Amino acid sequence: MPVLLDVRSEVWPLKERFSISRGAKTAAEVVVVSLGDGAHRGRGESVPYARYGESVAGVIDDIRRVAGNLTTRVALLDLLPPGAARNALDCALWDLDCKRTGQRAAALANLPQPADVLTAYTISLATPEQMAEKALAVSNLPLLKLKLGGDGDGVRMRAVRAARPDARLLVDANEAWSATDLAALIADASDCGIEVIEQPLPAQADDALKDVEHLVPICADESVHTSADLDRISSLYDAVNIKLDKAGGLTGALDLLQQARGRGLKIMIGSMVATSLAVAPALLLAPHADWVDLDGPLLLGADREFGVLIENGRIFPPPPELWG
């Protein structure tokens, strides 16, 4: 039976202030779990998210509460609901099984061994001029994700497009748009050659997506956590953003990926702002994604030891010393 060796919170300062429609942060606050069997050790990392009613202290309490009953990844599904606590434990169990068997996680999951893939780089919410300047400053990065915030978003998109006519652009409104402005902002996005619009409306008000033409594919983020959400959202969205912290780990994310693909939805693989330890498991899903958004380590002032390599926007599989 796996034993909880350690669970702790860590704070990783960011290179610069990171802003979205709901607020700003200057550090990534993560929870790290270490599990052992007496001979081997596995680790997992998660990011408690206030938007989903989570806190660092609450996640740590949940992990400690169920630690004595841990046996397998399947059993974990009944111990905790999807979320950050289950994610940290699930990923630690995957890593522990890899260390026990000497196999990489892709082999254990019957997935192709991941190769390097292009990841988006996030441009934080700011004035149109500041966002254009930032986009120009990373001219070596071909895929950018723009954090939007409602008022002035059409100007923001046009400013970045003018600064980077060569770039592929994604946008993420983080629930900041209204049904009143939705059609006009989708048209702005289409005019700017945006590839996908992520979560334009609040999750509780996204039925309005039925009433507008999807000139640009619309991707669910806050509106989809697990495969149980697909019945409701499949008629509203064209794509889903799969995050291990929402799905409750790699196990839940793999289920969501399979079922979303079966419904013909496009796939984005994302993560919260976190270290390479949180990003590594998500990379197993990257070969099946239309867009990959795993740039968290690039936003940190410093990453952990054996972090994933990211060069010119391409992110490489993790070494086994990090995870899996």
C-alpha closest to that of 144 among 277, 305, 163: 163
Instruction: Tell me the pLDDT tens digit for each residue of 28-79.
Output: 999 999 999 999 999 999 999 999 999 999 999 999 999 999 999 999 999 9
Please give the Cα distance from 207 to 218 (Å, whole number). 13
The active-site residue, picked from 99, 134, 145, 243, is 243
pLDDT above 90: percentage of residues in the chain: 96
25 counts as catalytic: no
How would you classify the pairing of strands 239-243 and 218-220?
parallel
The active-site residue, picked from 99, 147, 246, 266, is 147
The domain limits of the chain are: 3-103, 117-315
Q: Which CATH architecture has domain 117-315?
A: Alpha-Beta Barrel (3.20)
Please give the Cα distance from 290 to 282 (Å, whole number). 14
Query: Contact at 8 Å (CB) between 171 and 157?
Result: yes
Q: What string of pLDDT tens digits covers the 324 residues of the chain?
A: 899 999 999 999 999 998 898 888 999 999 999 999 999 999 999 999 999 999 999 999 999 999 999 999 999 999 999 999 999 999 999 999 999 999 999 999 999 888 999 999 999 999 999 999 999 999 999 999 999 999 999 999 999 999 999 999 999 999 999 999 999 999 999 999 999 999 999 999 999 999 999 999 999 999 999 999 999 999 999 999 999 999 999 999 999 999 999 999 999 999 999 999 999 999 999 999 999 999 999 999 999 999 999 999 999 999 999 999
99 counts as catalytic: no
Superfamily of domain 3-103: Enolase-like, N-terminal domain (3.30.390.10)
pLDDT for res 182? 97
